[in-house]
Amino acid sequence: MAAAALCWALRAVRQALPSPCPRQVRSYYVDWRMLRDVKRRKLAYEYADERLRINAIRKNSILPKELQEVADKEIAALPRDSCPVRIRNRCVLTSRPRGVKRRWRLSRIVFRHFADHAQMSGVQRAMW
Amino acid sequence: KDKSAASKDSTHEGAAKRQEDGAETPKQQLLDIIGTMKVEVSYRKKLQQLKASESKKQAMKQLGGLESEGSVPQGITEDTQRGKPLNPELVKAASAVASSLPRNRKQTESELLAQLRRHEETTDKQKKGGTINICNVISEMTVKRQSPAQRGARISGRISLQLDEDGQRIRPERLSAQSMDSRRSLKVGKRLNIFTKASTEPEHTLNTVSSPTIWDMEFAKEVAAVTAQPPRNGFEEMIQWTKEGILWEFPVDNEVGMEDDAEFHEHIFLEKHLEGFPREGPIRHFMELVICGLSKNPYLSVKQKVEHIEWFQKYFEEKKELLQEI
């Protein structure tokens, strides 16, 4: 358990790029919840095809029901984090789970901060 | 100075001796022209000197021929160091011109004579036919005929800037020129001898180690790191980002990274992959629906579709016993 936690801690620290670029690079995720979300996304990507195929067998009126029940059991046996429903669109900068605009992947507070400082291209205060 | 004057006199004398008296006047005329061509006043003295020498020559015409003949070959050998006798008239003219010029008389004379020698060489070469024969060059060329429509299009193109929807200029299609080029082949025709063959250096037989060692790679990385200066402005920053892959290439290409070389029929007609399945029954029905759905999917590559079908095949193979119970 401790080893697994350590492993995840190491993975949280992303490696710095080998080439000496003068840009600042983020080496950590904002918090552990964001890290778990990242994990879930990766797994969901890996198992996406399989889930799609098994679901195609399940949601079917042609194949026999026994086959579909077997498929049900199979999909339940897959890792829990592989289902896409568990992914939460968090804010990219603050990891806020609520109030996140999908287009910018930012929470409303961060979005407002950047927009007021004129760092969002094409965003203007509404006035009509 | 005296020596040159003496040689000049001798050459003049020799030339005068060989030619008739009638031809003397055009030479004098030439000299007069050269004399008048000058701008500065101070050189009139030299001209007068020349004229004086000329008159002296005419007076000394009566002297013995042996003397002049003896001096003439001397003069010639002086001038022709390369062993090719120049035309003595040219030599005389050159010396006259040299005298008319402001700078060092001897130097200019020698330079002019060198020029003359070069001209002689080129003319000899041309006689032998070693240099470029322009007749050969032109014989291969043909006159390009512009149709009046094309000409009009070209002129109109120059005047107005025709913009397409994308903002790119409309180019008139030049099919005729391209077809002309394609008709000619490269190896047809005589050699024109325009370019000299570059001497092919003997290839180095000693080949260094082909596989780069680790040290070489490290050195290369170091060099790249040192030479990579930080971007001076926003444009260079964007260039760097594009190279790294952070920024897309504009105009945006929707099919970057997606190289599907398969034809449309490979996407649509997927029934050939259904050979492993039973011909009748619910599975076949199911698979036909799967294929129908896949054929309508534009987002997957053929490889992915085939993978889907193969997975289903494997899956149904595994569940065969179960299916037989039913």
- Domain contains B192: no
- Higher-pLDDT residue of B305, A26: B305
Please identify, among B70, B98, B130, the residue that sits at the C-terminal boundary of a domain: B130
B37-46, B122-131, B167-176 — most confident range: B122-131
A36 & A55 share domain: yes
- Cα–Cα dist B256/B323, whole Å: 44
DSSP structure string for B231-281: PSSHHHHHHHHHHHTSS--SS--TTTT------HHHHH--GGGGGGS-SSS
Q: Does residue B220 belong to the interface with chain A, where contact is any CB pair within 8 Å? A: no
- Nearest chain A CA: its distance from B157 CA (Å): 38
Of the candidate ranges B24-33, B72-81, B202-211, the one whose mean pLDDT is the lowest: B72-81
- Domain contains A6: no
List the CATH number of the domain containing A66: 1.10.287.1480
Q: Which residues of B touch A56 (CB under 8 A)?
A: 290
A50 & A96 share domain: no
- Domain contains A18: no
Q: Which residues of A touch B230 (CB under 8 A)?
A: 22
- Domain contains B10: no
- Nearest chain A CA: its distance from B287 CA (Å): 10
A78 & A96 share domain: no
Residues A105/A92, Cβ–Cβ less than 8 Å: yes
Q: Can you say whether the dihedral through the CA atoms of B20, B23, B29, B35 is positive or negative?
A: negative
What domain count does chain A have? 2
Q: Choosing among A17, A23, A62, A65, which should be mutated to test the B contact, i.e. which has the most B CBs within 10 A?
A: A62
- Domain contains A77: yes
- Higher-pLDDT residue of B154, B8: B154
Contacts of B247 (CB under 8 A, 6+ apart): B238, B241
Mean pLDDT, rounded, for B174-188: 58
Q: CA-CA distances (angstroms) from residue A114 to A106, A127, B281?
A: 10, 18, 61
Q: Choosing among A63, A69, A75, which should be mutated to test the B contact, i.e. which has the most B CBs within 10 A?
A: A63
- Confidence check: pLDDT of B15 > 70: no
- With a threshold of 0.85, tell me whether the complex ipTM lies above it: no
Contacts of B308 (CB under 8 A, 6+ apart): A49, A53, B290, B294, B300
Structural domain of B97: 88-130
Put simply, the answer to whether A67 touches B290 (Cβ < 8 Å) is no
Q: Does residue B84 belong to the interface with chain A, where contact is any CB pair within 8 Å? A: no
Q: Choosing among A57, A67, A70, which should be mutated to test the B contact, i.e. which has the most B CBs within 10 A?
A: A67
A63 & A101 share domain: no
Model pTM?
0.46
A46 & A78 share domain: yes
Q: Does residue B289 belong to the interface with chain A, where contact is any CB pair within 8 Å? A: yes
What domain count does chain B have? 2
User: Please, what is the angle between helix B24-37 and helix B88-100, to 10°?
Assistant: 30
Of the candidate ranges B96-100, B135-139, B284-288, the one whose mean pLDDT is the lowest: B135-139
- Domain contains A97: yes
pLDDT at A87: 96
Q: Does residue B278 belong to the interface with chain A, where contact is any CB pair within 8 Å? A: no
- Domain contains B225: no
Q: Strand, helix or coil at B163?
A: strand
Nearest Cα residue in chain B from A49:
B308
- Cα–Cα dist B76/B15, whole Å: 12
A38 & A80 share domain: yes
Residues B225/A20, Cβ–Cβ less than 8 Å: yes
Expressed in angstroms, the distance from the first to the final Cα of chain A is: 58
pLDDT tens digits, one per residue of B295-324: 999 888 899 999 999 999 999 988 888 888
Q: Is B17 exposed, middle or buried (0-12, 13-18, 19+ CB in 10 A)?
A: middle
Residue B259 — very low, low, confident or very high, per pLDDT cuts 50/70/90? confident
Residues A81/A38, Cβ–Cβ less than 8 Å: no
Whether the upstream peptide bond of residue A18 has omega within 30° of 0, thus cis, is: no
Structural domain of A57: 30-88
Mean pLDDT, rounded, for A1-22: 47
pLDDT tens digits, one per residue of A45-104: 999 999 999 999 999 898 888 899 999 999 999 999 999 999 999 999 999 999 999 999
- Domain contains B100: yes
A95 & A115 share domain: yes
- Domain contains B13: no
- Domain contains B110: yes
Q: Which residues of B touch A65 (CB under 8 A)?
A: none
Picking from A19, A22, A70, the nearest residue to B322 by CB comes out as: A70
Residues B287/B274, Cβ–Cβ less than 8 Å: yes
- Domain contains A3: no
